[in-house]
Amino acid sequence: MIDTHCHLDDPVYEADFDTVLAAQQAAGVERILVPGVDADNAQAVLDVCRRSHGYLLPAIGLHPENIHADWQDQLDRLHQLLTIPQAPYIAIGEIGLDYHADLTYKEEQKQAFITQLEWAQEQDLPVMIHCREATQDCLDLLRHTMLKKPLHGVMHCFSGSNEVARQIVDMGLYLGIGGVITFKNCLLREHLGNIPIERIVLETDAPYMTPVPYRGKRNESRFIQYVIEALSTVYGLPTDEIDRITSQNARCLFRLKDEK
């Protein structure tokens, strides 16, 4: 199991961080990727990754919900961190568009998204994309950026329609599937039916999006086993096959070396 999106720098893990980490390793979680959300949390992300001795891998980015009046200053600070020699980042993320709560900075969200997609192209890094209630703009900006240069990445926490899934996969991107697929009455199980399992990576988005049967509790990477079980039903494949293929997808997308 590889958790491609987990906010282990969140304060909810502070008190028992080492215990939490040991529990993930004991449960067979191979690697955990920790996205950044702004310049202020970038150090916290690096700190938890260092503390894990390479078990956690850091990404860096400005989350669309964190785009406010200081967004350009945030981008400047992030770009400095990204471009220091031997920067440890394995991806740019999470970045994207979020029109759910607040449209004040809609145009700035788009500009920041394009800028960070271009960073990914310059640095030859994959992207972790957050897209909420902004599908058309998100796909348009991705397509536009890809006209100039290829781009690799994952649409994190995907829960959209089959048609949108198809478009994302056709662009060469992966779908990040997490706890949502275990929720009762979730249409995602039907929507994934004809999407190749080779285009799916697993994630928690912990501490959020906890799968059934732990819904409502603090999420952990090891609960990905419930996502694997749901995908096993969708694809009619044994759970260890789902685990093997999706782990290989994550290693490929994020160029993770030491395979198990």
Give the binding site for Zn ion (CB under 5 A): 205
- Nearest CB to Zn ion, comparing residues 8 and 165: 8
Q: Which two tokens stand for residue 126?
A: 């994959």
**From the CB of 237, what's the least distance to Zn ion, in Å?**
27
Q: Which of 91, 69, 89, 73 is nearest to 81 (CA)?
A: 89
- Nearest CB to Zn ion, comparing residues 90 and 245: 90
**From the CB of 156, what's the least distance to Zn ion, in Å?**
6
CA separation (Å) from 93 to 17, 167, 223?
22, 21, 22
Q: Which residue shows structure tokens 């732990």? A: 214
- Nearest CB to Zn ion, comparing residues 6 and 21: 6
**From the CB of 65, what's the least distance to Zn ion, in Å?**
10
Q: H helices of the chain, where?
A: 17-26, 42-51, 71-82, 106-123, 135-148, 162-170, 188-191, 224-235, 239-254
Residue 200: beta bridge partners? 175
**From the CB of 187, what's the least distance to Zn ion, in Å?**
22
User: Closest residue (Cβ) to Zn ion?
Assistant: 205
- Nearest CB to Zn ion, comparing residues 9 and 205: 205
**From the CB of 133, what's the least distance to Zn ion, in Å?**
16
Quote the DSSP letter at residue 198.
Answer: G
- Nearest CB to Zn ion, comparing residues 138 and 245: 138
- Amino acid 57 reads L
Distance, CA of 193 to CA of 234 (rounded, Å): 6
Q: Which two tokens stand for residue 64?
A: 């669309």
